[in-house]
Amino acid sequence: TRSQRVRAAMFPETLEEGIEIPSTQLDPAQPTAVQRLSEPSQMLKHAVVNLINYQDDADLAT
């Protein structure tokens, strides 16, 4: 379903092992709208993880 494709693009770690979401991509060179929209979400998620790791490292150093 559409919601599964959006969830898979934005939060790939939530997919169960072995489950594949079929792509609706017509041209492999062009990302789908869902892929383009998920990029900022992925970047934000990575930034938050980096901040958490930085805080953990800072706590260990003190």
33-47 pLDDT per residue, tens: 878 888 888 888 888
Q: pTM of the predicted model, to two decimals?
A: 0.48
Average pLDDT value for the chain: 77
Contacts of 14 (CB under 8 A, 6+ apart): 7, 8
Q: Specify burial of residue 62 (Cβ count, 10 A radius: 0-12, 13-18, 19+).
A: exposed
